[in-house]
Structure 1
């Protein structure tokens, strides 16, 4: 299993950060365009809540569309939320999003645990492709979010 950690500070209020990141519709804005990310849930709402199911189509490799279903398993208002894959490309996916007021702004931390399926073959594909692609998504997000909120 992989564990990845990313952090980014924004010169915005906790309310502004929470309003943006807890809205499922905004995920497409911080996902690289080549991934063809589309939310397919018909009624996902504008605020995450524990127990919420969100369905997507994403094209992570070679433009091949994959269905992905996540559940928002935990939400503590203006502190953190957790999304876990229920169906999709990973054998395991657990992603914590944490928000802390710091130095007149907000520190956002992403703690991601994931595992690629298919045993030894999956581990090889992870080392060769998947881990690099997952990291590239977070590099893209950091750039887009810096442009949107400052750094």
Structure 2
């Protein structure tokens, strides 16, 4: 299964970075270039263990919906979300927050698989990995900008 990890130092305590990472409003602002909106679930505030939210966004000129489940919440150390309905064959996002002298080392690990077998593997290698890195980087830019 394709995967990647992004790391970023955020100049704020892990509790604050953790909480902002679960904030619906921050997510919407950071993904505004994709016309992101909430199609179902909490529309503001912080997501919690066991909550599901359905995001609707435009990628590659098409509107997609993805329902995510938030789980394994261990504030302020980590949480995970995974697709329970949506365009991927599989999608798991692990968020980790490690205290360091400069604030927080924020680590995002994404494991994903597009549908459609061999064709999906080709899409993953040619396009999807790069696109997801860009999307997660945009989200992380929004988190960092909040603490600038």
**Does TM-score exceed 0.5, indicating one fold?**
yes
Residue of structure 2 aligned with 1:114, choices 103, 106, 112: 112
Q: Is the 8 A contact 1:25 1:39 kept in 2?
A: no
Q: 2 CA distance for matches of 1:23 and 1:75?
A: 14
- Structure 2: unaligned runs, 5 residues or longer: none
Q: CA 1:19 to 1:65, structure 2 compared with 1: closer, same or farther past 3 Å?
A: same
Q: How much is the aligned-residue C-alpha RMSD, in angstroms? A: 1.8
The aligned residue for residue 138 of structure 1 is 136
1:75-111: CA deviation from partner (whole Å, max 9, x where unpaired): 0111111000001110000101011111140111001
* Residue 44 (structure 1) shift: 5.4
Compute the TM-score of the two structures, normalised by the length of structure 1.
0.88
Q: Would you say how many aligned residue pairs link Structure 1 and Structure 2?
A: 148
The aligned residue for residue 124 of structure 1 is 122
1:44-75: CA deviation from partner (whole Å, max 9, x where unpaired): 5622222101111111112x111110001220
Q: Is the 8 A contact 1:49 1:74 kept in 2?
A: no
Compute the TM-score of the two structures, normalised by the length of structure 2.
0.89
1:16-63: CA deviation from partner (whole Å, max 9, x where unpaired): 2123112233211222x332111122435622222101111111112x
